[in-house]
Amino acid sequence: MGGAQSLELPPAKGPHKVGCTDVMADGTRQGSFFRLYYPCEASGQVKQPRWIPQYEYCGGLADYLDRNKRWCAPALNLAFGYHEVPVEWNAPFKTAEKYPLIIFSHGLGAFRTVYSAVCNEIASRGFIVAAVEHRDESACTTFFFKSPVEDLEQQVEATTSAEQFAWRPESPQAHPPTLEEEWLPYRKLVKGEDEFSLRNEQVHQRVAECSRTLDLFTDINNGKLITNVLLGNLDLSIMKGCIDLQRVAVMGHSFGGSTAILAVTKDLRFRCAVALDSWMFPLKDDIYPKVLRPVLFVNSETFQTDDSINKMKRLHSTDNEIKIITIKGSVHQSQTDFTLLTGQFLSMAFETKGTIDPVEGLDITTKASLAFLQRHSDLRKDFDQWDALLEGNGEHVILIT
């Protein structure tokens, strides 16, 4: 693999420039928190956000990996802390049309920015993408604010200082001084604890958070004033009337894949689901007959077992389309940004790269996803040029039947 200088997130290839912001709709643990990718206008002053939004996420990753935080967190910060996402931070939203919406759910031990390459590429093709950061204790860490929400709203309204409005989440001063963060760590299994009970409870909370995020976009589209307690970020009111709520899909990786599957059974506003290397373990058997929406599975070659593939096949019914494809030479981390940002040593330690070129693997993932989204969201786009991938036609693609 190349040296550290060549490790970076690729720019998106679609026709739209992509803007990015963070949204925390209220400061409580129950509120929506997500990174938003959206088509934007070109802005004169381009700022790119850090890929690791705050140092605490390095400590969270160390905890999740069960490494000593005192040495591992600084090492992770050294390896990843300088990376930036090739998007325009808080760029003006492009109001030219109505955009379909994707709610994206992250995997176990991840956080909202870990799928920036996929989310950025999809947004560049004319989508609004909200990458939720889950508060079910499955993220490596996340945060909310200790103040009651009414206090936060008063503080937001009262804050006029230019210095505070210049605040960015990746800056060393990670929040306005009046707001105190409370960090929620990754919850490890207790010895003797039944894992299925925990994961099933978490996947239901995750679905509720995805639906709550969709509720928020419904309010934004209808012109309701939404307070973003992360001061100085994009004014969401500009998106009024620009969200195509008839074309909403849910997407996720690993634990986020099972979240996407359960979401289409519980919230019929989601027209289809894209499950990237889905972890099927958290789902109860009784949900399989209830999946009446189309689902695309994009699997890696190494993660899936015969048992999980059989579970995916059980979703077939006369009322929906289920597609299962495998990307040859890919590993579980091939659909995350880690596959692009790790060199040879870290890749061997954590198996972040397969034999397929990381950029090529992610290209197949996004193109297959876009073809499926066009087919099942009635989009007037040219994504059907990649329909062959959904049939297993391609050098690195296998169709599972």
Q: Indicate whether 368 belongs to any domain.
A: no
16 part of the active site: no
Cβ-based neighbours of 287, under 8 Å, separated by 6 or more:
261, 262, 265
Catalytic residue among 83, 106, 175, 332: 332
Is residue 143 pLDDT above 90, yes or no?
A: yes
147 part of the active site: no
Residues 234-272 pLDDT 10s: 999 999 999 999 999 999 999 999 999 999 999 999 999
219 part of the active site: no
How much is the pLDDT for 6?
A: 66
Give me 87's structure tokens. Answer: 């998007």
Q: Indicate whether 370 belongs to any domain.
A: no
The enclosing domain of 168 has a CATH number of: 3.40.50.1820
Residues 165-209 pLDDT 10s: 333 444 444 454 467 899 999 999 999 999 999 999 999 999 999
Residues 335-393 pLDDT 10s: 999 999 988 767 766 777 889 999 999 999 999 999 999 999 999 999 999 999 999 99
Instruction: Answer whether 382's CB lies under 8 Å from 13's CB.
Output: no
Task: Work out the pLDDT band at 138, boundaries 50, 70, 90.
Answer: very high
In this predicted structure, which of 8-22, 83-97, 146-160, 361-375 has the lowest mean pLDDT?
146-160
- Rounded-to-integer distance, Cα 166 and Cα 199, Å: 39
Q: Which domain range does residue 117 map to?
A: 13-307+316-323
Q: Look over the chain and give the mean of its residue pLDDT values, rounded to a whole number.
A: 90
Task: Work out the pLDDT band at 157, boundaries 50, 70, 90.
Answer: low
Question: Maximum distance among all alpha carbons in the chain?
Answer: 59
Cβ-based neighbours of 48, under 8 Å, separated by 6 or more:
84, 85, 86, 87, 88, 89
How much is the pLDDT for 154?
A: 56
Catalytic residue among 277, 278, 334, 347: 277
Residues 31-81 pLDDT 10s: 999 999 999 998 777 899 999 999 999 999 999 999 999 999 999 999 999
Give mean pLDDT, residues 117-130.
98
Catalytic residue among 116, 254, 258, 334: 254
How much is the pLDDT for 13?
A: 97
How much is the pLDDT for 171?
A: 46
How much is the pLDDT for 295?
A: 97
Give mean pLDDT, residues 280-293.
94
Q: Indicate whether 257 belongs to any domain.
A: yes
Query: pTM here?
Result: 0.91
Is residue 210 pLDDT above 90, yes or no?
A: yes
Domain count, the chain: 1
